Structure 1
Amino acid sequence: MRLSVATNFDPQLIESLKDYPVVELFGKLREDVVGGGRAPYQLGKVSRRQLAEHVAQARGAGIAFNYLLNAACLGNVEITRKGQKKINRLLEWISRIGVTSVTVATPFMLQLVKTRFPQLRVRISVFAGVDRVRKAQMWEEMGADCIVLDSILVNRELQTLREIRKAVRCDLELMANNNCLSGCSMSPMHMNALAHAGQTGSENKGFFVDWCFLKCTAMKLENPVNYIRSEWIRPDDLPIYEQLGYDLFKIAERDLPTEILLARVKAYAARRFDGNLLDLIQPYGFQGIKEGARYYRRGLGWMLRFLIRPGLVNPLRLIPLKRLAELRGMIRPLEGDPPVYIDNRALDGFLERFQDQSCRDVDCEDCRWCHQFAARAVHIDSASRDQALAAYTELFDSMHGGDMWRYLPQKKNGVPHGGSCRDPECSS
């Protein structure tokens, strides 16, 4: 077993991981010319000096570092003189500080790195959507050293995983503990939105309202089967994937508290977990974490940059977002019993159906395998659920109807509320 683990740039994290099969940490600057797979508001600020020191500490512990250049779209900056200079400078710095590999999501970035910085190993991001044999072969033919397969599309397709492993010689990696929806139709929009959010040249300068994330989390509360109809791999099921020839697993999430990341590594290294599966796969809703921890530290500067942007959005319309974040444990730790609990032991046997059956062209309502396990394993507090769904509804109404971006009352048929139409074609 080999684990590639998200970093939070805490020196103690590296010390804590020494006793586990961790071969690599992955992370990046909060923003750079390329961008990545997380919006800046989700990540703590890290300077170039801090990142370089973290890479050096990791190397001293025998752990490599993978720098993420995994934006699904660069906005065509990569085909301009200015963009090329910035990308070159970034890669020169990455190489100089001892980074051993980078993750990219576009074929052009793969070829660029391989040609100009051949000492760097290049990994293909989950955002590249590799979900079948020919795609994997094409990336390998272009020089990929490792491919992270598209977990949304293949983590439950065991026969596909078997065939891909047989078809290529390069390293393959599986995302173990993401919890996106399997076959999610929002995925292309989401990966592109996140890519631009973290690019230094973005006109929004870090401002981002993650509609896809909000929609996904609401869908799970509305229909608990969506907690199961997902992409995660339980620690207990790793042996099944290892039998298929996979031994490299990616553990998320970047910038989480050290104790949370360590608990996830322990569970996957042990190939067993007893407790709430959400503790391993959800990027929020933590318990037992001090509110003053770095993960929850959000000062005035953070709010002014990422939320209070009156030129981009009506800040008052973000109040439901703040209330929702508090209810769901996104900006402070939860107290009391968890509002959602997924009993991992009740999921024993879940993967049996997928040993010889596909989900790709199956109607979930005809199958209902995930529904059966959701009924056994997923427990939701109804009061907290109702509160959260009410906040989601208010927020979505504001976004879908456009009120979030208005300061004046909405017009009806081109007429402000309380006004009268002077166009002779208007009906009385």
Structure 2
Amino acid sequence: MKYFNVPADFKNSTIDQYHRLNNTYDDSRVSEIYGQITVGNLYGSGRPCDMIPKIDMNTLEKHIAYGRQKNIDFSYTLNATCLGNKEFTEAGMAEIAGFLDQLYEIGVESLTIAIPPLIEFVKQSKYKFTIKASTLCDILNANKAIGYKNLGADRIVVHESINRDFSTLKSIREAFGSNVEMIVNVICHKNCIYRPFHQNQGSHDLDIDATSTRYYPHRCMMKRIEGIDNYLKMNWIRPEDIKYYTSIGINYFKIQGRHTVENGNPAKTVECYMKESFDGNLLDLLDNFSTTTAFKIYIDNKKLDGYINAFQQRPNFCKNHCLQCGYCLQYAKKSIDIVKAEEIFQGAREFYNQFDQYNKMIENNNSTRK
């Protein structure tokens, strides 16, 4: 059985779609949706608040109740990577405890958490929350998985960078047990230099600041368009290849993209993974069929058949030294129209260079100091 954890768009009609899918596919089900409040929110998470649905406690309570009627659970994303050291003060602890009271009262029974002291705090609270260690915990090996298990995590979401490292995934599964989860529609670059800093920025984005919320997404896009093979290095898992993960005992899969659900179609995404097939632009699937950028190239998903084989069949195939390889570039040339892609890349470079607010701030700062 494949179990899917899907971002909440807080629409009952979407839960109805998940319920239909659960009754259609015998070997798959949407078991959980996840999200958070943004109105009156005290704590950040893995996404800046301006990118996700505007939800208050009352709306969240109703949505949790409706999902429960359809036998779909809810996990609250309390996975900020920084709380400004609130968790180490008496006043901060009291505030967190009060927030947990509110969540429990409206029906939250599961929390996705990133920082260890908060896991300890929740585990010792009066409530029996189920705790999931977030992908932001950077669980990269069996030792770290065991560490979070000993801390009290009931489930873990592994770091996306090991999505194609089958030997490491096997060892984590053996060490932690069956409750290992993976993100399938990954859009982040493997070995991204911005990752931990982007996470911290998002954790503090309760008050919107345009410069801070745009800096990392802009840098991410500029990284993508350095070369067409960068799109293949994002460690996504194709629907056709999910069978290789269930074969090693991993049965929990997460659809990421809380920033895409309002204008996208997460039900369509999860159904592609349920039926293990998708014919179309891979980037549409990764973005939950939402328009996230005007500079989207076309990657023919079906022309990536066989791409996973080297990773799956040859232990330690990827050395994380792309300058000495070229494997991803071979498949990029098979699945992408290079000429059209370069035209799109050029337009993107011009746009992002023109509207780079951070560089403009640097220029303004330097000009005032002359």
Asked if structure 1 preserves the Cα contact closer than 8 Å seen for 2:269 and 2:288, the reply is no
The farther-off stretch of 55-64 and 370-379 is 370-379
Asked if structure 2 preserves the Cα contact closer than 8 Å seen for 1:70 and 1:105, the reply is yes
The farther-off stretch of 61-70 and 34-43 is 34-43
The farther-off stretch of 30-39 and 175-184 is 30-39
Counterparts in 2 of 1:173 and 1:164: CA distance versus 1, 3 Å: same
Tell me if 1:374 matches 2:322: no
The runs of 5 or more residues in structure 1 that have no matched partner are 287-324, 330-337, 416-428
| 1:177 alignment partner in structure 2 | 185
Tell me if 1:130 matches 2:139: yes
Asked if structure 1 preserves the Cα contact closer than 8 Å seen for 2:205 and 2:213, the reply is no
- Structure 1 residues 88-237: aligned runs within 5 Å: 88-151=97-160, 153-169=161-177, 171-198=179-206, 208-237=212-241
The farther-off stretch of 216-225 and 269-278 is 216-225
| 2:273 alignment partner in structure 1 | 268
Letter in 1 for 2:300: D
Runs of 4+ deviating beyond 6 Å: none
| 2:16 alignment partner in structure 1 | 15
The farther-off stretch of 210-219 and 126-135 is 210-219
Q: What is the DSSP-based 3-state SS (H/G/I as helix, E as strand, rest coil) of the residue aligned with 1:178?
A: coil
- Which is greater in Rg? 1
- Structure 1 residues 394-413: aligned runs within 5 Å: 394-396=354-356, 398-400=357-359, 402-403=361-362, 410-411=367-368
By how many angstroms is 1:360 displaced?
5.8
Taking the aligned partners of 2:186 and 2:364, their CA distance within structure 1 comes to 32
% same residue: 29
Deviations 1:272-299 (A, max 9, x none): 111111111136863xxxxxxxxxxxxx
Letter in 2 for 1:106: I
Counterparts in 2 of 1:405 and 1:72: CA distance versus 1, 3 Å: farther
| 1:300 alignment partner in structure 2 | none
Q: 13, 34, 49: which one pairs with 1:26?
A: 34
Q: 296, 302, 314: which one pairs with 1:345?
A: 302
The farther-off stretch of 255-264 and 93-102 is 255-264
Counterparts in 2 of 1:404 and 1:124: CA distance versus 1, 3 Å: farther
Counterparts in 2 of 1:404 and 1:76: CA distance versus 1, 3 Å: farther
Taking the aligned partners of 2:175 and 2:94, their CA distance within structure 1 comes to 37
| 1:321 alignment partner in structure 2 | none
**TM-score by structure 2 length?**
0.90
By how many angstroms is 1:79 displaced?
1.5
By how many angstroms is 1:359 displaced?
5.5
Q: What is the DSSP-based 3-state SS (H/G/I as helix, E as strand, rest coil) of the residue aligned with 1:340?
A: coil
Taking the aligned partners of 2:7 and 2:222, their CA distance within structure 1 comes to 25
Taking the aligned partners of 1:168 and 1:240, their CA distance within structure 2 comes to 19
**RMSD, matched Cα:** 2.2
Letter in 1 for 2:330: Q
Q: What is the DSSP-based 3-state SS (H/G/I as helix, E as strand, rest coil) of the residue aligned with 1:24?
A: strand
By how many angstroms is 1:96 displaced?
1.3
Taking the aligned partners of 1:8 and 1:227, their CA distance within structure 2 comes to 26
Asked if structure 2 preserves the Cα contact closer than 8 Å seen for 1:149 and 1:173, the reply is yes
Q: What is the DSSP-based 3-state SS (H/G/I as helix, E as strand, rest coil) of the residue aligned with 1:190?
A: helix
| 2:345 alignment partner in structure 1 | 385
Letter in 2 for 1:371: L
